[in-house]
Amino acid sequence: MIDKKWWQEEVIYQIYPRSFYDENGDGIGDIKGIIKKLDYLKELGITMIWICPIYKSPMVDNGYDISDYLGINKEFGTMNDLDQLLIKAEQLDIKVMLDLVINHTSDEHIWFQEGINNPDSPYRDYYIFKDSVDGKEPNNWRSIFGGSVWEKVPNEEKYYMHVFDKKQPDLNFENPKLRNEIYNMINTWLDKGLAGFRIDSITFLKKDQNFESLKSDGNDGLVTCKYKTRNQPGIEVFLNELKEKTFNKYDCITVGEAPGVRYDELSEFIGEDGYFSMIFDFKYADIDVESGSDWFKRTNWTTKEFKDLLFNSQNEIQKVGWGANFIENHDQPRAISKFITDESYQNFIGGSALALMYFFLRGTPFIYQGQELGMTNFQRQSINEFNDISSVDNYYRSIDEGFTEEEALQFVNLRSRDNTRTPFPWDNTKNGGFTNGTPWLSLTEYYPSTNALDEVNNTNSLFNFYKKMIEIRTFSKYKDILTFGTFQEVENVSENIISYYRQNNNEKLQVIINLSNQSNQINVEKNDFKVIMHNYEKVVNNNQIINLKPYEAILIEL
Ligand code: NOJ
């Protein structure tokens, strides 16, 4: 068990800068836009923001392809804008966390340019170059965004490796010089006064050095590269060194995007001397698909299965460290569309049930922009309407695997990362008040009825529900128990009820969620419980039996 840390008390709001607020009218959100909207975030009550990448980038993967780690991409503004943001945020008592992408760079990064154009350059060993085998790719690994992980080097019988897109070549962490450059870069940013980092794809740093082909798992003859590039033995050496040379010198927060970590390895990642403060656990977030990147492998999940995954995650994390709780991010569809299977409840009721369900779990809660408004997925009619590269890949892979174009489009509509990347609807005017220009990605069709201005002013909105939850977790007398109290599953309840206790020595709170469109009942320990929050007009009980309406959600003190 870890000691108390300041970052356990935070409520973190994730900003996708391209889509937050466009201050200069070019259709793309920017840093000045974030500055303008900090007051909105203060009103909501969050204590920290995480901004997705704003570094120089050709934007093939919307900033997760960095061409200069120490520069700001023009479309977002300047370093001066960022400095202004840090100042204003500090005045409002909001901490700022940036995204750190060190598994790969853009192919337009100067290191890669030097490395690919000159075989004798020391920068060639900053990346992974291999000889071709029988005139072909070195092996049959499939990249996360589709196609081979190998891209041919012009005029040479060599290939370079990319776990993600071909414009995102992987860095070679086996090279100590490269590692040192990365550490210096990280320390330069931390010296600027950042609160810390969300760390991208960090379990991909170590590659199996055999580079052997494996048995194919698809009609393309390839096999997912995850088996040999994700969380491989030896990664602990890199992650320990990374921590020692950078994060440990600062009192910063580090949130690892660390897919592929088994629960029996959690203490190495998030224990007292772990590599990170916390990591995201995707095991329950991806319940609707068999494997995170193959969207055509859909599942018929049940609430019971979801609850088991969620609670297992909480229990395993509680044994060793601290969690990062989320239901949405820029790689996931909207939570209401994913988890509320009855469309007639994809509204305030469904949104507030999910909110109460995850927000009071043990761990630091993350809110993704627009989640607090109850945004839902969109329906696009053609693959040409998508921006996200993995949507395009998944569409063609689905067809390759024998699905019709219609089915392929349906998978993409359900799962596309663009679902959460649509511009933020500030009000009901043209383009939802996001921009005066032409938005880089079209807004959801329903912004006239779901937007920030209306919700801030409506006391019964989801925005105000989130505001109340934040207030309770951060500023009320329940702060201590909701932050540091233990998590315990409430057992022997209906399969469709997700219920847990948060408790410390002398207090006990209970969260009750009926995650289904059927009425239900739950028996609680006392009949003189106090209702702290709920999402229907009133809680109906007969002594210790609470009658639950569809998707009813309640927080009580026992
Ligand atoms: C995970 C990020 O969240 C995602 O948006 C990105 O495409 C990949 N890593 C590659 O950096």
Distance in Å, CA 386 to ligand 1 centroid: 17
What CATH number corresponds to the domain at position 74? 3.20.20.80
User: DSSP assignment, residue 268?
Assistant: H
Question: What pLDDT is stored for residue 291 in this prediction?
Answer: 75
Are 253 and 279 within one domain? yes
Catalytic residue among 151, 170, 200, 294: 200
Are 96 and 115 within one domain? no
**Average pLDDT of the residues in 88-105:** 98
Are 157 and 130 within one domain? yes
Q: What angle do CA 84, 85, 88 make, to 5 degrees?
A: 85
Phi, psi for residue 457 in degrees, rounded to 5? -80, -10
Q: Percent of the chain scored above 90 by pLDDT?
A: 98
Q: How far is the C-alpha of 108 from the C-alpha of 148, rounded, in Å?
A: 20
Strand order in the sheet with 150-152: 129-131, 158-161, 150-152
Q: How far is the C-alpha of 137 from the C-alpha of 226, rounded, in Å?
A: 17
Q: Is residue 406 part of a domain?
A: no
Q: Is 257 a catalytic residue?
A: yes
Last residue of a domain, one of 405, 434, 466: 466
Q: Is residue 405 part of a domain?
A: no
Are 18 and 37 within one domain? yes
What CATH number corresponds to the domain at position 506? 2.60.40.1180
Which domain, by its residues, includes 521? 484-557
pLDDT at 225 over 80: yes
**Average pLDDT of the residues in 512-530:** 97
Say if residues 159 and 150 touch (Cβ distance below 8 Å).
yes
Question: What pLDDT is stored for residue 1 in this prediction?
Answer: 58
> How many residues are recorded in the chain?
558
Are 100 and 117 within one domain? no
Among 166, 201, 226, 326, which residue has the most ligand 1 atoms within 8 Å of its CB, making it the best to mutate?
201
The two beta strands, 55-56 and 497-503, are unpaired
pLDDT at 390 over 90: yes
Three-state secondary-structure class, residue 346: coil
Ordered alpha helix ranges (H), 246-372: 266-270, 303-320, 335-339, 348-359
Ordered alpha helix ranges (H), 423-534: 452-457, 462-475, 479-484
Say if residues 422 and 432 touch (Cβ distance below 8 Å).
no
Are 380 and 309 within one domain? yes
Residue-wise pLDDT for 414-435, tens only, equals 999 999 999 999 999 999 999 9
Which residues is 510 bridged to in the sheet?
Answer: 501, 556
Are 47 and 153 within one domain? no
**Average pLDDT of the residues in 191-209:** 97
**Average pLDDT of the residues in 250-277:** 97
Are 266 and 367 within one domain? yes
Residue-wise pLDDT for 437-461, tens only, equals 999 999 998 999 999 999 999 999 9
Q: Is residue 473 part of a domain?
A: no
Distance in Å, CA 534 to ligand 1 centroid: 35
**Average pLDDT of the residues in 257-286:** 96
Question: What pLDDT is stored for residue 336 in this prediction?
Answer: 98
Q: Is residue 327 part of a domain?
A: yes
Handedness of CA 259, 263, 264, 269 (dihedral sign): positive
Are 143 and 215 within one domain? no
Q: What angle do CA 280, 284, 286 make, to 5 degrees?
A: 90
Question: What pLDDT is stored for residue 154 in this prediction?
Answer: 96
- Residues sharing a CB contact under 8 Å with residue 166, sequence separation 6 or more, in sequence order: 107, 143, 147, 151
**Average pLDDT of the residues in 24-47:** 98
**Average pLDDT of the residues in 1-16:** 92
Are 36 and 73 within one domain? yes
pLDDT at 293 over 80: no
What CATH number corresponds to the domain at position 132? 3.90.400.10
Among 52, 200, 391, 415, which residue has the most ligand 1 atoms within 8 Å of its CB, making it the best to mutate?
200
**Average pLDDT of the residues in 268-293:** 93
Q: Is residue 375 part of a domain?
A: yes
pLDDT at 540 over 90: yes
pLDDT band of 89, cuts 50, 70, 90:
very high
Cβ(201) – ligand 1 distance below 6 Å: yes
Are 334 and 350 within one domain? yes
Cβ(64) – ligand 1 distance below 6 Å: yes
Residue-wise pLDDT for 128-187, tens only, equals 999 999 999 999 999 999 999 999 999 999 999 999 999 999 999 999 999 999 999 999
Distance in Å, CA 255 to ligand 1 centroid: 14
Question: What pLDDT is stored for residue 2 in this prediction?
Answer: 64
Half-sphere exposure of residue 460, counting CA atoms within 13 Å on the CB side?
6
The two beta strands, 486-489 and 497-503, are antiparallel
Count of the separate structural domains present in the chain: 3
Residue-wise pLDDT for 358-373, tens only, equals 999 999 999 999 999 9
Q: Is residue 402 part of a domain?
A: no
Q: Is residue 391 part of a domain?
A: no
Residue-wise pLDDT for 294-340, tens only, equals 899 999 999 999 999 999 999 999 999 999 999 999 999 999 999 99
Which residues is 489 bridged to in the sheet?
Answer: 500
Are 302 and 209 within one domain? yes
Three-state secondary-structure class, residue 511: strand
List C-alpha distances in Å: 273 to 101, 102, 256, 373, 400.
22, 21, 14, 38, 45
Measured distance between the N- and C-terminal CA atoms of the chain, rounded to whole angstroms: 26
Q: Is residue 322 part of a domain?
A: yes
Strand order in the sheet with 530-534: 486-489, 497-503, 508-514, 553-557, 530-534
User: DSSP assignment, residue 540?
Assistant: E
Say if residues 22 and 437 touch (Cβ distance below 8 Å).
yes
Identify the H or E element spanning 129.
Answer: strand 129-131
Tokens of 389: 């590269």
